Amino acid sequence: MKTLLTAACATALLAAACNAAPDRAQAQGASGAPVETRAPNGKDQAPAFAGQTRAPEVKAGVDYQVTDHVTGLVKPWGLAFTPDGGLLITEKPGRLRLFKDGRLSEPVAGVPAVDARDQGGLQGIALDPQFARNGLVYLHYVEPPKDGKNNGAVARGRLVTTGGTPRLEDVRVIYRQTPSLASTKHYGGRLVFGRDGTLFVTGGERSVLEGRMQAQRMDGTLGKVVRINTDGSIPKDNPFVGRAGARPEIFSIGHRNILGAALHPRTGELWEVEHGARGGDELNIVRKGRDYGWPTITYGIEYAGGPVGEGITRKDGMEQPIYYWDPVLAPGDMAFYEAAQVPAWKGSLFVTGMGPRYLSRLTLDGDKVVGEERLLVEVKERLRPIAVGPDGALYIGVDSDAGRIIRVAPK
């Protein structure tokens, strides 16, 4: 089934957007008024700097269409394109599927058992930088509980597609979140390889009070971004290696629940989007050894109402998000666009939304967000994983029991 979604723009603007340089094309669609019109939850909170929230609406003027690319899925969570034209898809209940040559495989054998309750399951996926040679696939998932407690973990295995049903061989766990807690929420779960071949693992603080406090502690990895080698060993240049009482895999601290992450294609830095409570969804640039504040500082308020902690939004020694949403976007994933196929999108950052259910396209000026455009509002379903395909189209997972991967490309 094919659904056509047309952005509201004039023909002249579309022509300009498709032929001009990216920055100029995006600026031509600026209205000046913020795209967000709802009242914030943090009514008495002010941004730390101009442009930190409620960016003006900036339309790229791309007339696009949406088609179903893969159907028959259940809650797709992660996407990874293989060099030979395949697409690996993780499904929350614990299945890994390969879509290739128009066919969806049976579940890949050898995937570890998962705890799929609530926010758990099979989550992020990444291919080894040498995948074409070694076939290694990395999976983030939630391990089944022991003594009522569970944790996120990363396993790697070699993908074999010959001889019938695809399978993972030589599977082994290379990382586990610590400590294990009795909670079914806030695992994080994205995997991103750095340019140097090390693996970033995004985490959550498990939502419960004990886990929330862990986000600022150094003796555990909850509420952290960690950085490991492909075999699970610790890079020698991690910021807390050799520090007494600190886990050496920690790269940054003070995160709530990071569900989207990607390397900036020009700088190579890790960017992430994480969930706040009622308001306070953040876009951050993850830098070595930095503290991103949770739960000491945050925008937004508690789900039950009232301030988070002391209700402060800034403190010396803690990083400010480069952008935040209040009310929330409920980000599911993110992807930078650098493909040549859609010039007006080049340089944009796309963030999927699971709350208001739209795709946010952010216009960037260096490290600053200077515009926002909402796309796919007609889909009206939760959008989670996103990837830019080899053909320059956007591929996005619809997060439902009748899940699918949609393809978004110019008409």
Phi and psi torsions of 28, nearest 5°: -60, -25
C-beta of residue 246 within 8 angstroms of C-beta of residue 261: no
Q: How many CB atoms lie within 10 A of CB 130?
A: 11
Tokens of 286: 């993850």
Residue-by-residue DSSP string for 108-160: PBTPPP---STT-SEEEEEE-TTHHHH-EEEEEEEPPPBTTBB-EEEEEEEEE
User: Domain 2-410 - what CATH class?
Assistant: mainly beta
Q: How many CA atoms within 13 Å lie on the side-chain side of 7?
A: 25
DSSP E strand boundaries for 128-264: 136-142, 152-160, 167-176, 191-193, 199-202, 225-228, 250-252, 258-263
pLDDT of residue 8: 34
Q: How many CA atoms within 13 Å lie on the side-chain side of 17?
A: 25
Distance between CA atoms of residues 264 and 305, nearest Å: 35
- The distance from CA 401 to its chain's CA centroid, rounded to whole angstroms, is 20
Q: How many CB atoms lie within 10 A of CB 280?
A: 28
Tokens of 88: 């690996």
| Boundaries of every domain in the chain | 2-410
Given 69, 140, 186, 255, the catalytic residue: 186
Is residue 186 among the annotated active site residues?
yes
Amino acid identity, residue 30?
Answer: A
pLDDT of residue 31: 62
Rounded to a whole number of angstroms, the CA Rg of the chain reads 20
Phi and psi torsions of 62, nearest 5°: -95, 120
Amino acid identity, residue 34?
Answer: P
pLDDT of residue 126: 98
Distance between CA atoms of residues 124 and 112, nearest Å: 13
Distance between CA atoms of residues 90 and 85, nearest Å: 17
* Alpha-carbon torsion (356, 361, 365, 370), positive or negative: negative
> For 154-204, what is each residue's pLDDT tens digit?
999 999 999 889 999 999 999 999 999 999 999 999 999 999 999 999 999
Placement of tokens 């395949």 in the chain: 86
Residue numbers of the chain with a pLDDT score lower than 50: 1-28
Tokens of 39: 């009242």
pLDDT of residue 29: 59
Tokens of 335: 């992807």
**Where is 67: in which H helix or E strand?**
strand 64-73
In terms of C-beta density within 10 A (0-12 exposed, 13-18 middle, 19 or more buried), how is residue 408 classed? buried
pLDDT of residue 23: 41
**Taking the model in full, what pTM does it have?**
0.93
Angle among Cα 383, 389, 353 to the nearest 5 degrees reads 15
